[in-house]
Amino acid sequence: MQTQRATTNELKLRPGRAEDAVELGRICFDAFGAISKAHNFPPDFPSPDVATGLISMILTRSDVYDVVAEENGRTVGSNFLWKGDAVAGVGPITVDTNVQNSSIGRALMTDVLAHADKNGILSVRLVQAAFHNRSLSLYTKLGFDAVEPLSNINGPAVGITIDGYNVPNDINRSGSSRCRLPKSAWSQPAQRSCRSDRTRFGESC
């Protein structure tokens, strides 16, 4: 799949490969870090190596559809669609900070949504930082509806006992059902997120 940008740069979308992990990990680390820093929040990943590890793991999964964006032969972004559940999940979607706001993110999102439609997936879900208005605007234009706010609160287990309640000593601090946050991220302050869903009505499986 190819598109042509107004700047005459050629954008090509292709499947991800194992050898993409390092560059995609760098892009992921820089992109998430830049938007968090701009809003005075701690980064999602403590180092590029952690982001690379996540991307490397995703690229090996048979239940995840992956797409990589290249501009004039240079890798500039990626997106993923998790297909293991009835409701598919999007992300992480990231674009190189040097070429953001140039429709690459839209192309990556359009591609995974087209894949979902082609495979009869009726509902697609994503979670984004509530302060990232540019991406929220894009997702809304693509048919997503903001469903509910989420709070991601990190910290050590309280280690207390409450009569009549089961308080686990080791709380699952995962940011999602897919990956566990690194230990260095447990002490981060609360971050607000927004869950958005895109559902196709009037269709059957």
Chain centroid to Cα 205, Å, comes to: 26
- Residue 177 class from Cβ within 10 Å (0-12 exposed, 13-18 middle, 19+ buried)? exposed
pTM for this model (two decimals): 0.74
101 — pLDDT class (breaks 50, 70, 90):
confident
Which option is the CATH number for 2-199: 3.10.580.10, 3.40.630.30, 1.10.8.100, 3.20.20.70? 3.40.630.30
| Residue 106 in this model has a pLDDT that exceeds 90 | yes
Q: What is the pLDDT of residue 199?
A: 58
Collapsed DSSP state (helix, strand, coil) of residue 67? strand
| Residue 116 in this model has a pLDDT that exceeds 90 | yes
Collapsed DSSP state (helix, strand, coil) of residue 97? helix
How confident is the model over 151-155, as a mean pLDDT?
A: 72
| Residue 173 in this model has a pLDDT that exceeds 50 | no
Q: Rounded CA gap, 34 and 179, in Å?
A: 21
36, amino acid identity: S
108 — pLDDT class (breaks 50, 70, 90):
very high
Q: Rounded CA gap, 124 and 121, in Å?
A: 7
202 — pLDDT class (breaks 50, 70, 90):
very low
111, amino acid identity: D
8 — pLDDT class (breaks 50, 70, 90):
low
Q: Rounded CA gap, 131 and 39, in Å?
A: 7
Q: 1: Cβ–Cβ under 8 A, 6 or more apart, which residues?
A: 12, 13, 111
List pLDDT tens digits, range 48-95.
999 999 999 999 999 999 999 999 999 999 999 999 998 999 999 999
CB 102 within 8 A of CB 5: yes
User: Alpha helix locations (H) across the chain?
Assistant: 21-38, 48-59, 104-118, 133-141
Domain boundaries, the chain: 2-199
CB 31 within 8 A of CB 94: yes
| Percent of the chain whose pLDDT exceeds 90 | 52
| 104 HSE (CA, 13 A, CB side) | 29
What is the chain's alpha carbon radius of gyration, rounded to the nearest angstrom?
Answer: 18
| Residue 188 in this model has a pLDDT that exceeds 60 | no
